[in-house]
Amino acid sequence: MRILVVCLGNICRSPTAEAALREALRDAGLDGQVEVASAGTGDWHLGEPPDARMTRAAAAAGLTLEGTAAQITAEDFRRSDLILVMDRSNLRDVRALAPDEPSRSKVRLYRDFDPDADHDEVPDPYYGGEDGFHAVVDIARRTARGVVEHVRGLLTA
């Protein structure tokens, strides 16, 4: 199984969700069965590492952000079983890129799996203060556990 997490530039929210998902999958003993990757809808940061502020906030919580920014491609729809986006703008943009209805049906909001969600979007911390980055780490981790429970059900079905 392959999960792709997507945000706008692939330097804050989606790399954090990717790291949180890997951690939650590892904790659940499913890391060998599920591949996780991340991408952005835009190309502004291609090849750049995760945002330094996001990296610091994640590290403070024990998460390591890896990789460099990539942009979602048509191939990602074929390769991915589940595409999780961070906000409604990403949802609209990614669904518009999908080549067909089965591909569109793979796209969901990440926070659909957040058991304590008070909102359906992961806020973009890019233009805000340090607290926003720490909030994204908390949301990403909590939601990752919900995603893993969903995935566990798919793998045993």
Catalytic residue, from 13, 53, 111, 141: name it. Answer: 13
pLDDT (tens, 9 = 90+) of the chain, 157 residues, equals 999 999 999 999 999 999 999 999 999 999 999 999 999 999 999 999 999 999 999 999 999 999 999 999 999 999 999 999 999 999 999 999 999 999 999 999 999 999 998 889 999 999 999 999 999 999 999 999 999 999 999 998 7
Question: CB under 8 Å, gap of 24 or more: what pairs does 25-30 form?
Answer: 25/148, 25/151, 27/148, 28/148, 28/152, 30/148, 30/151, 30/152, 30/155
Domain ranges of the chain: 2-156
Catalytic residue, from 76, 114, 124, 141: name it. Answer: 124
What is the CATH class of 2-156?
Answer: alpha beta
Annotation marks residue 124 as catalytic = yes
Annotation marks residue 13 as catalytic = yes
